Amino acid sequence: MTNKSVTRRGVLKSGAVAGTGLALPTIFTASSAAAFTNEPTGSSVTLGFNVPQTGPYAEEGNDELLAQQLAVEHLNGEGDGGCLNTFSSKALQGNGILGKKVEFVTGDTQTKSDAARASAKSMIEKDGAIMINGGSSSGVAVAVQGLCQEAGVIFMAGLTHANDTTGKDKKANGFRHFFNAYMSGAALAPVLAAEMGKERRAYHLTADYNWGWTQEESIVASTEALGWETVNTVKTPLASTDFSSYIAPVLNSGADVLVLNHYGGNMVNSLTNAIQFGLLDKVANGKDFKIVVPLYSELMAAGAGENIKGVLGSMNWNWQLQDEGTKAFVKSFGEKYGKPPSNSAQTCYAQVLLYADAVERAGTFNPCGVVEALEDFEFDGLGNGPTWYRGADHQCFKDVLVVRGNQNPTNAYDTLEIVEITPRAQVEYDPEHPMFAGGDLGKCNPGA
């Protein structure tokens, strides 16, 4: 495995911080020999891994990078092969991609759209990256997906949960394996109603960017449809670290449920502040007060510690699943890094393999061939069971998990328990659903 980021990483970070190139027009050059950007003509092919290595989602990003590196090893025939052994498609043989050794470069998104675009642009223009993968923010995903569409390369999204990524901001060159906010609402609401009752009054604190907005909209719609009332919705800055001033008003709001539409370090801090205010010890409207975290990750749960116990949420994937793909990935990741992978790590690992497999099946690196191979592709063996990449919007559909903070963990990684595996059919929706309407998938851009 060759990691060309050893010499590039500092340049990428400093360039993004300084805003290098952000004021300049984006110009990409296509190969003269073939009509697509960054056609690999030598013995190797370069992938770009764009993750938050600093900022509020850095812990998620670092786990993504570990998984991406593992995927490269498996593609190059190193290690135990991981999910190459369980993937229903048998196109990948562990000899790179179309016989070319896989190399990679990395960038730091900083969980900032401008920095993410700058680092992706650098990897495409200076390093010859033919595919960009990663990210832990929907704002970043939308920005980088748009850039990749302009550049004529494929974007395999990482952790992005906003409806917009495969809704109004969908692009033909972009694909999302992660689930979305609508799916969280569809999976969570019935469980919330069953456990907490249908006469609840909810107060929402929401990260003030497109993921938070669509997460709030989805949970409000799904819970109100079952009888809940929404008392208030309050936006909080992504850069916030202390949420005390936002928690205090909840006490006198008449609410008996607090919904934290926060992720990463934001969720850890807001949940900690809520516990410090004693919300879970209070009774409101004759009911025990409850807290809900619609989008969970193992890393967030570990960061929140004791505060997470009993709190419900949803997940894209969990290392405790028992399907063959999950077991193969957990084994490989655990033996290499000494810990179970997060769901953001699994997403990036799967996306790298899915891209490589699509190239093999298409017989070309041309992004339009890759798009055709991925659209309406049905597969199994990468975790979560049978999965469908819908051609209409490039959204993956698979089972969704409802989880709870474990009341009696047996070890440091036993933070969450799976409450329900929500079947795929329950979270599917029409491509023109109002929460996803607008925008235009458009046509594949090969960059010519």
Tell me, what's the pLDDT at 448? 67
- Show the 3-state SS of the chain: CEECHHHHHHHHHHHHHHCCCCCCCCCCCECCCCCCECCCCCCEEEEEEEECCCCCCHHHHHHHHHHHHHHHHHHCCCCCCHHHHCCCCCCCCCCCECCEEEEEEEEECCCCHHHHHHHHHHHHHCCCCCEEEECCCHHHHHHHHHHHHHHCCEEEECCCCCHHHHCCCCCCCEEECCCCHHHHHHHHHHHHHHHHCCCCEEEEEEECCHHHHHHHHHHHHHHHCCCCEEEEEEEECCCCCCCHHHHHHHHHCCCCEEEEECCHHHHHHHHHHHHHCCHHHCEECCEECEEEEEECCHHHHHHHHHHHECCEEEECCCCCCCCHHHHHHHHHHHHHHCCCCCHHHHHHHHHHHHHHHHHHHHCCCCHHHHHHHHCCEEECCCCCCCEEECCCCCEEECCEEEEEECCCCCCCCCCEEEEEEECHHHHCCCCCCCCCCCCCCCCCCCCC
258 and 289 part of one domain: yes
> Is the residue at 261 inside a domain?
yes
Do 132 and 146 share a structural domain?
A: yes
The model carries a pTM of 0.89
236: in domain? yes
User: Tell me, what's the pLDDT at 302?
Assistant: 83
Last-in-domain residue among 266, 296, 315: 315
Residue 220 sits in the same domain as residue 273: yes
- 424 within domain boundaries: no
Does residue 369 fall inside a structural domain? Answer: yes
Q: Is residue 445 part of a domain?
A: no
Domain boundary pick from 295, 315, 335: 315
What is the total count of domains within the chain? 2
pLDDT for the residue 256: 97
Same domain for 304 and 352:
no
Which residue range is the domain that position 348 belongs to?
44-179+319-398
Name the domain boundary from 274, 292, 315.
315
Q: Does 408 map to a domain?
A: no
Residue 205 and residue 123 share a domain: no
152 and 241 both lie in a single domain? no
Q: Do 260 and 297 share a domain, yes or no? A: yes
151 and 214 together in one domain: no
Domain-located, residue 415: no
pLDDT value, residue 34: 54
Question: Are residue 247 and residue 368 in the same domain, yes or no?
Answer: no
Residue 27 lies in a domain: no
pLDDT of residue 12: 27
Q: What is the pLDDT of residue 186?
A: 96
pLDDT in tens, the chain (448 residues): 444 433 332 222 223 333 333 333 344 444 444 589 999 999 999 999 999 999 888 889 999 999 999 999 999 999 999 999 999 999 999 999 999 999 999 999 998 999 999 999 999 999 999 999 998 889 999 999 999 999 999 999 999 999 999 999 999 999 999 999 999 999 999 999 999 999 999 999 999 988 899 999 999 999 999 999 999 999 999 888 899 999 999 999 999 999 999 988 888 999 999 999 999 999 999 999 999 999 988 887 888 888 888 999 999 999 999 999 999 999 999 999 999 999 999 999 999 999 999 999 999 999 999 999 999 999 999 998 999 999 999 999 999 999 999 988 888 888 899 999 999 999 999 999 999 998 999 999 999 6
CATH number at residue 69: 3.40.50.2300
The pLDDT score that the predictor gives to residue 152 is 97
